[in-house]
């Protein structure tokens, strides 16, 4: 058996949730209930995923928005599909142009790091290919929350205030005024439990729903985006929006102890998870609570990131075949680099970000693993006036160095951190899983999968377990409740271990899996405000 549903080795206020007819797991209860509402109305897991995702742009704007990107894995009729809805750099921008303007690197905020948003197109494409309900119907909960108000959750309130303090440094710059008008009217952010409205976003969601998202890429909203960027000498244009469409892709996988782990291929970093697992399956682990086990996991992640940050880019411009990187011979070669002591890889430091993840399942057997993000907090800080649309800053992952694999070019996609996951065995689905949080995502996925597959923790216990996070070089952070004897063991192996008092940077995950008895099993991360909606 993959896991024992009754095995809870860690203190938790949550338990695995079971359901028969349908399930939604995500970081906000209101969004999960929106997805469940679609199932009760006769919709399927894809309708539920769109409704949940649209709702999350309203109730958790600190981590995602209409102006971000999405990746999706869908199990439908005995086949796994992948959708890449990440957008490219505008056609009018290039590294040469920015360097002539005096930039040595791409800024985190402002007009420059904005790439073409993919989320509205993802919603429309998912509905077109798989949805049962009308496109407009799945937006009803999100529009109602934005128009009539929603109670802000505790974590979102704290992150909202944190973002406000950051943006105060840019308040004098006119291009950021719409952010304050939208998200901090009256010079403040919402308190926990406060009823908060986003009326402009309600109008935008209504327009997207009525037009199958065409207004965002070809109509009135596209015109507003174009006009704003022209006014302030930005680079994104309506031409970029008109020419964009999400891409259906073949998911990539690695087999770990007889289980197939599936990810979206580059430009997203799901490859890092698979590279690490390929290395780890060359080892045998007898005890989870052992410093040797964590040492090997950390070293495998280092090597996987080293490869990922060297090779992952727009798939049309990758310089090595994915099959070569995922070969058994390559995994054995990388394994040889892992010894008894911590190594100091020469890769760049992993970068952090904010994201939302959701998983859905229905009684017909459809399952969705969905992730979307504005990248860092509210993204670029750019809000298109009159729309409530916060635009992402995914372009910060481009480089201005000509030798870099993600050298900025017009129309190119860059390294993307968000990664939905899916598990299967013997060509049969087990279900979706995901962890949010920049480069914590593959690290979190590896920790959860090994806890369940190697050590038979149930999904909730695997999410509850204290986590580690490789930062750079030999530096590793662990959560404050991480076992002290394992910390000492890692330090003896040369790791520089820091104990973090704040768990906000260790990812937040959700899981929905079949339990082999005809029911669904759901789990959600205690580090988030969300839950599992079951029917």
d(CA 88, CA 99) in angstroms, rounded, equals 19
For Cα atoms 441, 332, 272, give the angle at the middle one, nearest 5 degrees.
15
Q: Active site residue: 355, 387, 414, 524, which one?
A: 355
Tell me the Ramachandran region of residue 499: left when phi exceeds 0, alpha when psi lies from -120 to 50, beta otherwise: beta
Q: How far is residue 417's CA from residue 432's CA, in Å, rounded to a whole number?
A: 18
Q: CA–CA separation, 465 vs 6, rounded Å?
A: 15
Separation CA 530–CA 25 (nearest Å): 8
Report the C-alpha gap between 470 and 480 in whole angstroms: 15
Question: Helix (H, G, I), strand (E, B), or coil: what is residue 328?
Answer: helix
- Is residue 362 within 8 Å of residue 46, measured between CB atoms? no
What is the side-by-side order of every strand in the sheet holding 367-375? 247-249, 79-85, 69-76, 367-375, 354-362, 22-26, 531-534
> How far is 472 from 492, CA to CA, in rounded Å?
18
User: Residue 230 and residue 215: Cα distance in Å, rounded?
Assistant: 19
Q: Which tokens hold the place of 416?
A: 């993307």
Nearest CA among 62, 69, 60 for reference residue 29: 60
Rounded CA separation 471/482 (Å): 16
**Distance between CA atoms of 27 and 22, rounded to whole angstroms?**
17
Cα 338 versus chain centre, distance: 29
E strand segments, 77-128: 79-85
Q: Is 140 part of the annotated catalytic residue set?
A: no
φ/ψ of 39, rounded to 5, equals -65, -40
Catalytic positions, written as ranges: 355
């Amino acid at each position: 058996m993959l896991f024992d549903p009754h095995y809870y080795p860690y203190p938790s206020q949550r338990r695995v949730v079971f359901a028969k007819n349908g399930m939604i797991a995500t970081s906000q209860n209101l969004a999960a209930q929106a997805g469940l509402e679609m199932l009760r109305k006769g919709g399927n897991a894809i309708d539920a995923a769109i409704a949940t995702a649209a709702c999350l742009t309203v109730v958790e704007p600190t981590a995602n928005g209409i102006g971000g990107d999405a990746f999706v894995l869908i199990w439908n009729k005995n086949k796994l599909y992948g959708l890449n809805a990440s957008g490219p750099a505008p056609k009018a921008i290039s590294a040469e142009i920015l360097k002539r303007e005096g930039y040595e690197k791409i800024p985190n905020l402002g007009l420059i790091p904005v790439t073409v948003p993919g989320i509205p197109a993802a919603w429309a494409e998912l509905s077109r290919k798989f949805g049962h309900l009308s496109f407009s119907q799945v937006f009803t909960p999100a529009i109602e929350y934005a128009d009539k108000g929603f109670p802000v959750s505790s974590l979102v309130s704290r992150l909202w205030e944190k973002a406000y303090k950051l943006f105060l440094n840019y308040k004098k710059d006119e291009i950021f005024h719409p952010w304050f008008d939208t998200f901090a009217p009256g010079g403040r952010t919402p308190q926990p439990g406060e009823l908060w409205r986003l009326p402009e976003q309600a109008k935008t969601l209504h327009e997207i729903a009525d037009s199958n998202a065409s207004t965002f890429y070809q109509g009135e909203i596209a015109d507003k985006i174009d006009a704003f960027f022209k006014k302030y000498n930005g680079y994104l244009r309506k031409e970029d929006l008109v020419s964009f469409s999400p891409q259906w892709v073949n998911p990539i996988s690695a087999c770990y102890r007889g289980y197939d782990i599936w990810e979206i291929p580059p430009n997203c970093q799901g490859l890092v998870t698979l590279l690490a697992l390929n290395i780890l399956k060359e080892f045998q682990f007898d005890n989870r609570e052992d410093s040797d086990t964590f040492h090997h996991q950390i070293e495998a992640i280092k090597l996987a990131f080293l490869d990922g940050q060297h090779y992952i880019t727009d798939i049309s411009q990758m310089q090595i075949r994915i099959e070569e990187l995922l070969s058994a011979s390559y995994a054995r070669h990388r394994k040889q680099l892992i010894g008894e002591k911590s190594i100091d890889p020469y890769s760049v430091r992993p970068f952090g970000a904010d994201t939302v993840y959701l998983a859905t399942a229905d009684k017909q057997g459809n399952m969705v693993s969905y992730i979307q993000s504005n990248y860092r907090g509210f993204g670029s800080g750019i809000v298109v006036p009159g729309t409530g649309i916060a635009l992402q800053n995914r372009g910060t992952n481009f480089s201005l160095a000509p030798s870099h694999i993600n050298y900025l070019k017009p129309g190119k996609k860059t390294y993307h951190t968000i990664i939905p996951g899916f598990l299967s065995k013997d060509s049969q689905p087990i279900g979706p899983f995901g962890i949010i949080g920049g480069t914590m995502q593959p690290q979190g996925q590896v920790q959860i999968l090994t806890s369940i597959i190697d050590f038979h923790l149930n999904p909730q216990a695997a999410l509850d377990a204290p986590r580690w996070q490789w930062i750079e070089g030999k530096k590793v952070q662990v959560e404050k409740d991480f076992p002290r004897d394992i910390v000492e063991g890692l330090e003896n192996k040369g790791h520089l271990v820091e104990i973090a008092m704040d768990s906000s940077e260790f990812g937040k995950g959700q899981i929905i899996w079949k339990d082999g008895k005809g029911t669904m099993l759901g789990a959600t991360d205690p580090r988030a405000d969300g839950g599992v909606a079951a029917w």
